[in-house]
Amino acid sequence: MINFTETTELYYGMLYIVLGIAVLVLSKFVVNLMSPYKINKELILSDNQALGVTLAGYYAGVVIIFLGSVIGDSATESVSIGSLLLEALVDFCYAALGILALNLCRKVVDLAILYKFSTVKEIITDRNIGTGAVEAGAMIATALMIAGAIQGTGSLFSALVFFILGMLLLILFSHFHALLTPYDDHDEIEKDNVAAGAYLGFTLVALGIIVLKATAGNFVSWGCNLSWFAGYAVLGFLGLAVLQKIILVIFLPGANIEEEISRDQNMNIAWIGGTMSISIAALIFFLL
């Protein structure tokens, strides 16, 4: 990973901007290849906003993964054209693996998070923006986890282990969130309730930020890094759950969450509640 210095910043920056564009082009090719529908047709001819929301989260996730592979300590001490190109190749390979993992995330959402219905049907046939919001949130959260796993020193195996742990945590948290909400997430999202989908999507992003904090940095030892991960996992579960409730009481006093999201499909709850969840996660990331 490249450690930018004053003398090489411009050259590194130019190379990595080009490399980042190449990664985005690769991500478009991969998602087209792995999707059971024609993306351009859905976006341009069918004006499918649900798929647009999903892909917005996907491409944001690709950039997050690329930045995670780039930012950190350089694996080589000397600065030369050869070492720079080698670093760029390694970072590109990590980003490419991250893109594959991000596309795998869509399957995880379908099978383990929104498992009561087909997300493909909801997004393509029903054009369900709420489902698209959950997929977008899950992919940004996954990208943050991948970025944390590959950032810093460590092996490909350690990155894979912490990515798998992060995905398991994402699945568990989605079920934990369902227990805390006074309505059925699946039923509301399947009924095209955008507020319910956006609220869950925002909360998944917040969890991803906390997991990024838990996995970013150098690999020290399995005991040290796993205990660090476990501590932030507990903090993510309990902190988001408790503080989210407090924030909603403070900023939306008198609001009945079940009625506002389930009956009224009030996007204000999703916007404010989701933004506050991400804000809490950001405070944890930068201050703890």
Q: Model confidence over 32-54: pLDDT tens digits?
A: 999 999 999 999 999 999 999 99
From the list 12, 99, 94, the residue with the least C-alpha distance to 62 is 99
Q: What is the CA radius of gyration of the chain?
A: 20
CB 119 within 8 A of CB 109: yes
Q: What was the pLDDT predicted at 73?
A: 53
Distance between CA atoms of residues 198 and 252, nearest Å: 17
3-state secondary structure of 237: helix
Intervals of the chain under pLDDT 50? 2, 4, 75-77
Q: What was the pLDDT predicted at 7?
A: 56
Q: What was the pLDDT predicted at 76?
A: 47
**Could you tell me the pTM of the whole model?**
0.91
Report the 10 Å Cβ neighbour count for 134.
Answer: 31
Q: What was the pLDDT predicted at 79?
A: 58
CB 199 within 8 A of CB 132: no
Residue with tokens 């909801």: 122
Distance between CA atoms of residues 130 and 201, nearest Å: 9
3-state secondary structure of 155: coil
CA distances from 219 to 6, 74, 148, 261 (A): 27, 15, 11, 42
CB 152 within 8 A of CB 73: yes
Q: What was the pLDDT predicted at 13?
A: 78
The tokens of 107 are what?
């399957």
